[in-house]
Amino acid sequence: MSTLLSVRNLTMRFGGLTAIDDLSLEVPAGRITGIIGPNGAGKTTLFNCLTGFYKPTSGTLRLAHPHHGEMRLEALASHKVVRDAQVVRTFQNIRLFPKMTVLENLIVAQHNVLQRASRFSIAGLFGLAAYREAEAAALDRAATWLERLGLVDLADHAAGDLPYGIQRRIEIARALCVDPVLLCLDEPAAGLNPRESAELNELLLYLCRERGVAILLIEHDMSVVMNVSDHIGVINYGRKIAEGTPEAVRNDPQVIKAYLGEDEDEAQAGGAAA
């Protein structure tokens, strides 16, 4: 399996705080990679570095883009990460355009394509055929994803008025409209009920197996992350403490320690040994 994204020695410091400390990670193409770790471990910081919201203190983020060859994500501004490298993210606390309708949210996601077709609004203002075609294509793509995610009936509702679980789905649909090479999902199952999480599992597997989208998944809901991930990386205090298949990670003593803490005896023994 070829590597899509390779994170090498990534470090991110905020003043005295080292949020990510010399982290290296490989994300294979066409697979689901899970990232887990306790709260404050640096998972979202990793996403922010990856998608250009933060500029890493040091380290490299190489993306083997299927069409454009190797790209260095750490050098790109956040909008270019999406526009040029097609690495798209969702947010832990949903960030939709709440007053716009669901359909408009999905159309806005295709801004760059449409803006080019509208020739900086000139062709658009006069309603030229080239722009009309591009808009019809954008609507078709939006409609396809709305249908796949069961959102067609809600297409003309304001996105902010819809229930939380549906907003999560809209955010994923919106990210899919960018036609991602790598989809970074930040806790997509947070706030979902068990049935919705099961639907999410099914969707993630569909995207990965049928559409060939590589997925990087931050998740606390173990029923999601253990069931769908091909590969899991565990982060604690900004360092990678374990990596491997879901089974291997589940039984890793380091991981158990990070999540549950260690027994007092062991801690003392460890302290004495140190």
Partner 1 sequence: MSAVVFAHHRMSPAERVRDAAWVAFVALLLGIPLIGLTTVDAGGRLEVSTRFGMLALFVAIAFGGRIALRATVDHFKARKLARQQARGASEATAASTTRRVSTWLGWFALGASIGLPILFSDNRYVVDTATTVLIYVMLGWGLNVVVGLAGLLDLGYVAFYAVGAYSYAILATEHGWGFWQALPVSGAMAATFGILLGYPILRLRGDYLAIVTLGFGEIIRIILVNWTDFSGGPNGISSIPRPSFFGLEFTRRPAEGEQSFAAFFGLDYSPMQRLIFLYYLILVLALLTHVFVSRLRRLPVGRAWEALREDEIACRAMGMNTTNIKLSAFAIGAMLGGFAGVFFAARQGFISPESFVFTESAIVLAIVVLGGMGSQLGVVLAAALLVLIPEFGRNFAEYRMLLFGAAMVLIMVWKPGGLLSHREPTVRLGQREETPA
User: Residue numbers of the site for partner 1 (CB under 8 A)?
Assistant: 51-53, 78-83, 88-91, 95-101, 103-104, 107-109, 111-112, 114-115, 118, 120-121, 124-125, 127-128, 131-132, 135-136, 139, 143, 146, 152, 155-156, 158, 174, 178
Q: How far is the CB of 70 from partner 1 (least distance, A)?
A: 20
Q: Which is nearer to partner 1, 81 or 242 (CB)?
A: 81
Structure tokens given for 177: 């409209």
CB atoms within 10 A of CB 68: 12
Q: How far is the CB of 235 from partner 1 (least distance, A)?
A: 22
Q: Which is nearer to partner 1, 64 or 100 (CB)?
A: 100
Q: Which is nearer to partner 1, 43 or 231 (CB)?
A: 43
Structure tokens given for 118: 């509208």
Q: How far is the CB of 181 from partner 1 (least distance, A)?
A: 12
Q: How far is the CB of 97 from partner 1 (least distance, A)?
A: 4
CA dist 240 → 190, 233, 234, 272 (Å) = 23, 7, 6, 25
Q: Which is nearer to partner 1, 115 or 254 (CB)?
A: 115
**Residues shown for the chain:** 274
Give DSSP secondary structure letters for 64-129.
Answer: EETTTEEEEGGGS-HHHHHHTT-EEE--SS----TTSBHHHHHHHTTHHHHHHHTTTTHHHHTT-H
Q: Which is nearer to partner 1, 171 or 236 (CB)?
A: 171
Q: What share of the chain is helix, strand, coil (3-state, %, to 5)?
A: 45, 25, 30
